[in-house]
Amino acid sequence: YSGLELISRAKKLNPKLHIIIISGYAHFEYARQAIQYGVNEYLLKPIKKTALTDALEKIKIEIQDDYRAGMDLKGIEKDHKKDVTKLRGVFIQDLLNRPNMICSGKTLREQYHFMVQPGQFQAFCMKIDYKNGRPNPEAVSVITNKFIDTVVNRLKKYCYDYVIKNNNYMVYGIMNYAPKESENIRKILRDSLNQMDVQKGFMIGTAEISMGLGIAVHSSEEISKSF
């Protein structure tokens, strides 16, 4: 490849690439094409140290500005993700506070960021019960978070969307999935519960872990019936 062809291909692979050409070729058309390809600086030989230093300093500033802009964007995206997670959790809390609440698909998407699709909706609840002794909040937190991680990693494959909320000694969840996945969903919840039951002896002693599964409904407006 010629130098310009190489630059063109490199820019296609990485548009943010910064390039300085150092050349003894002073033809205007060549320099014009180089600028069109996104070259930052075109320096003619013999070059002066100050010219090269200035060009490098300019690129350094551009890279730093790009980095700061990227970090700001990541911060905004991170904050947005936190806000969305909170709003999704609010949906479950609202159902707990208003058992007969009715929500359209539009409300679920716009207000709670629950991306519903036609199919089935079903709620579940995992509960930790202490019959004797005092509960260890830290151990309970470990168990409930472990349960959530396990369920989430498995539900991703079979659900259109799902919302899960940790509420002290209980974990609530609402799932939206295709009817054909019903058995897979049940198996995921059953296996996750069994896994937690095996581990509980090491973490929470004599506590009992149980799970309830609501009825499957076919409309987002009927979710409260499953809950």
CATH code where residue 28 lies: 3.40.50.2300
pLDDT score recorded for residue 167: 80
Q: Are 171 and 212 in contact (CB under 8 A)?
A: no
Task: Say if residue 11's pLDDT is above 90.
Answer: no
> Are both 145 and 198 inside the same structural domain?
yes
The pTM for the full model equals: 0.61
Comparing 147 with 199, the larger pLDDT belongs to 147
Task: Say if residue 75's pLDDT is above 60.
Answer: no
CATH code where residue 106 lies: 3.30.70.1130
Its domain, for residue 23, covers 3-47
How many structural domains comprise the chain? 2
> Are both 43 and 152 inside the same structural domain?
no
What's the pLDDT tens digit per position in 89-138?
888 888 888 888 888 888 888 888 888 899 999 999 888 877 666 666 77
- Please report whether residue 77 resides in a domain: no
Q: Quick one: 185 exposed, middle or buried, by C-beta within 10 A (0-12, 13-18, 19+)?
A: buried
- Please report whether residue 109 resides in a domain: yes
> Are both 191 and 105 inside the same structural domain?
yes
Contacts 24+ apart (CB under 8 A), 192-198: 192/147, 192/150, 192/151, 192/154, 193/126, 193/147, 195/150, 196/126, 196/143, 196/146, 196/147, 196/150
What's the pLDDT tens digit per position in 163-215?
888 887 788 999 999 999 999 999 988 888 887 776 655 555 567 788 889 99
Q: How many CB atoms lie within 10 A of CB 227?
A: 20
> Are both 10 and 110 inside the same structural domain?
no
76 confidence band (pLDDT: 50, 70, 90): very low
> Are both 188 and 95 inside the same structural domain?
yes
217 confidence band (pLDDT: 50, 70, 90): very high
Calpha distance 34→27 (Å, rounded): 11
> Are both 94 and 193 inside the same structural domain?
yes
> Are both 13 and 97 inside the same structural domain?
no
> Are both 39 and 97 inside the same structural domain?
no
